Chains A and B, each alone.
Chain A
């Protein structure tokens, strides 16, 4: 058995025990007059809204007009950032997809990650290779 040091205080890793959605609030902004809000308005008046909001009881939803502007969805995340998606001229099914994406998002900046698919904070399971130990060959 390997000698292990004193463990540090556990870091918060969402999803291992409890899981918390990172989005805390989602705003639906529409314009009563403009035609680009047609899809969002039909989404808001359809039963889809009640279904969607009932699915995520931990998120605050606000529906408020924003006159003379294109409709947007604005999400506020736990990490303090916010993301806004313009939904002009979108149908309500597309808007549901956008809203679901915002709800599932972590609120981090979009970063280009190439190849590093696994991110680990654990130390290597098999230890660090050392030239002093093991596998020493006598020539």
Chain B
């Protein structure tokens, strides 16, 4: 790198010196000037990077525990790359800059020594990974993402407990103010904590519960705060209690704390919060519970084809659709608002694939004859796939209802 820089620089210089006109036209001037500008910009960039590095250093280079996905930060990759940049770049840049100015010390290169590589090395994906390429993702998406509302709620609660500043007497919590992870090493009782809201309804801090409300008996209702990595979590709190604490709470999008909470939430649940959802929450000034609702809705898989969608709608309309996620009655209550759509009548037939001529023959009843004749002539018989009209199923259910 250094050599190439040096070469271009020197060439330009020689050119400009050789010409040395009194008047230079605009195009030529720009042509001459441009490489210099580039050079300068590079130089400034390197210095700027150094400044950035120094400013970022205290925040970004706090080494978290080695758990992947739990305590990684967005800044990890950036800091690493900057680190490598800081190691490699300044020397090169400064060298180039210095040497370009000292014209006398220029020596024309005759060998390839000092070059990192010669020629094309191949496609990047064929190259072996370099140490700079290695990075640690801040979020590892699990194979089966969470779609349950209770789980979302639990993860949000855990994220809140972890990220909100604590104002209380428990020394274990006070030690680690910003980043504490709820696991066995932290001897606290989650149910004794209380999320405090500020006057405007945003999350403010954590507190101990003043009353001796330890006897939350209904922990069996839903094990909400079970996370993916540890099932033997001792912190248990009921869904109702969480809802009660989170009711009316809003995100304050001006404070960086919300970002921390949401990020932690994403890490825990393995579900990236979609931008439209966040936008809806931000614009509509929605509460945390509504946020969870929106997430649950958006996380549901959408039907791929129109036929699937129609069948789903029909099932919904008849109430055939058994929802496996309905574990507790408390969850069902807010879902009441989506009324079932009007069902399609018995005169509607929904087919999931194209209607072929074979299907038409089958419908008429002529196919048996054709098949027999084909076989008699030793010809191949095609079209074995049965075109099952999707209307059959719901017509049957409809009949049963009427009976």
Contacts and interface: CB of A to CB of B under 8 A. Distances in A.
A101 B399 CA distance: 32
A50 B343 CA distance: 6
A63 B349 contact: yes
B354 A41 contact: no
B1 interface: no
A129 B119 CA distance: 107
Contacts of B351: 62-65
Interface stretch (B106-114, B161-169, B185-193, B306-314): B306-314
A63 B347 contact: no
Interface in B334-382: 341-345, 347-355
Contacts of A47: 341-342
A138 B272 CA distance: 106
A65 B306 CA distance: 8
Nearest to B389: A62
B344 A44 contact: no
Nearest to B304: A32
Contact of B354 (A56, A58, A59, A64): A64
A66 B353 CA distance: 8
Contacts of A51: 342
B271 to A, nearest CB: 26
B323 interface: no
B349 A60 contact: yes
The listed residue with most B CB atoms (<10 A of its CB), out of A49, A58, A67, is A49
Chain A binding surface SS class? mixed
A53 interface: yes
Interface in A12-68: 30, 32, 41, 44-45, 47, 49-51, 53-54, 56-67
A66 B352 CA distance: 10
B307 A65 contact: yes
A50 B306 contact: no
B344 A50 contact: yes
Given A51-B342, A53-B348, A66 B306 contact: no
B352 to A, nearest CB: 7
Given A61-B347, A65-B351, A30 B341 contact: no
A32 B344 CA distance: 20
A78 B337 CA distance: 44
B306 A63 contact: yes
A56 B305 CA distance: 26
B348 A63 contact: yes
A30 B348 CA distance: 15
A65 B352 contact: yes
A11 to B, nearest CB: 29
B345 A32 contact: no
A44 B310 contact: yes
The listed residue with most B CB atoms (<10 A of its CB), out of A41, A60, A62, A64, is A64
A65 B347 contact: no
A61 B348 contact: yes
Contacts of A63: 306-307, 310, 348-351
B354 A66 contact: yes
A133 to B, nearest CB: 57
B305 A65 contact: yes
A85 B396 CA distance: 32
B305 A53 contact: no
B155 to A, nearest CB: 32
A61 B310 CA distance: 13
A45 B347 CA distance: 17
B342 A50 contact: yes
A65 B343 CA distance: 20
A61 B349 contact: yes
Nearest to B341: A47
A7 B244 CA distance: 85
The listed residue with most A CB atoms (<10 A of its CB), out of B306, B349, B352, B354, is B306
Given A51-B342, A65-B354, A45 B349 contact: no
B316 to A, nearest CB: 12
Contacts of B342: 47, 50-51, 54
The 4 closest A-B pairs by CB, nearest first: A64-B351, A50-B342, A61-B348, A62-B349
27 contacts: A30-B306, A32-B304, A41-B306, A44-B306, A45-B309, A45-B310, A45-B313, A47-B341, A49-B310, A49-B344, A49-B348, A50-B341, A50-B345, A53-B344, A53-B345, A53-B347, A53-B348, A54-B342, A59-B347, A60-B349, A62-B350, A62-B351, A63-B310, A64-B355, A65-B306, A65-B351, A65-B354
Interface of A: 30, 32, 41, 44-45, 47, 49-51, 53-54, 56-67
Interface of B: 304-307, 309-310, 313, 341-345, 347-355
Given A62-B348, A65-B305, A66-B354, 7 more contacts: A47-B341, A50-B344, A53-B344, A64-B307, A64-B355, A65-B352, A65-B354
